[in-house]
A = this chain, B = another copy of it.
């Protein structure tokens, strides 16, 4: 086939390849899903539609699908998880992206603490959860609209904050560009940013950092 699957990736980087399902034809989906499952004994796809899940399920009834994060996966039993990542979301509408980050991090072997709907327009909500955030090796801050959550968290913790702008909002949110700019211009220290709605990327790099924190 055209695609060059990178099945040696795990040995090289410590991370198995993950499928970006959106836009893949049925034929490609099945083929890639199968090939990765075979190689690794487990497999995960992001941005999967209900239709793609139906397709996969016929061949692999053990596959699971979460309509919120839109993740499809078959995961090994009894995987050990290490360290701790806090995944925070500003609003309930940001949860799909937050869950993409959280589940990817879990799949890659990290413990995740979920702290949702703690946007800055009601700052007491965030402050009341600091004990659950503390102890994490890094924080993923997911927010749309004005995206201010990352800056506030950045001022409250001493570990890296991975900021994920989301396309949640309307009008001048410009499909997430406004939140992205907010986060890139953050006045707080320790903030770095990934693409709009890129929960996967945040879960990946959070795991890299989390592993550093638990190594040895």
Q: Point out residues on A near B: beta carbons under 8 Å.
A: 2-4, 6, 12-15, 22-23, 28, 90-93, 95, 116-123, 125, 127, 137-138, 145-148, 151-152, 154-156, 158-160, 162, 165, 167, 169-198, 201, 204-205, 208-209, 212-213, 215-216
A185 contact set on B, CB distance < 8 A: 145-147, 169, 171-173, 178-179, 195
A162 to B111, CA, bound (A): 23
A172-B181 in contact (CB<8A): yes
- Are B4 and A125 touching (Cβ within 8 A)? yes
Q: Which chain B residues lie closer than 8 Å to A196 at the CB level? A: 170-172
Q: Which residues of B contact A190 (CB under 8 A)?
A: 13, 204-205, 208
- Known contacts A90-B187, A171-B198, A213-B215: does B4 contact A95 (CB below 8 Å)? no
| Chain B residue contacts of A172, Cβ below 8 A | 176-177, 180-181, 184-185, 195-196
Tell me the smallest distance from the CB of A40 to a CB of chain B, in Å: 16
Select from chain B the residue with minimum beta-carbon distance to A149: B148
- Docked-complex contact A152 and B159, CB < 8 angstroms: no
* B2→A116 contact, CB < 8 A: yes
Chain B residues lying within 8 Å of A4, measured Cβ to Cβ, are: 116-118, 125
Contact B189 A184 (CB under 8 A): no
Task: List 5 interface pairs A-B (beta carbons < 8 Å), by A numbering.
Answer: A90-B187, A119-B187, A121-B152, A137-B212, A160-B205
Which residues of chain B come closer than 8 Å to A205, judged between CB atoms?
Answer: 160, 189-192
Known: A171-B198, A185-B179. A193 touches B193 (CB 8 A): yes
User: How far is B121's CA from A6's CA once the two chains are assembled, in angstroms?
Assistant: 11
Q: Which of B13, B14, B151, B189 contacts A148 (CB 8 A)?
A: B151
Q: Inside 8 A of A167's CB, which chain B residues have their CB?
A: 171
Name the residue of chain B whose CB is nearest to the CB of A168: B23
Q: Give the chain B neighbours of A169 by CB distance below 8 A.
A: 185
Residues of B within 8 A of A151 (CB): 120-121, 146, 148
Closest to A196 in B: B171
Tell me, in angstroms, the Cα distance from A159 to B215 when the chains sit together.
12
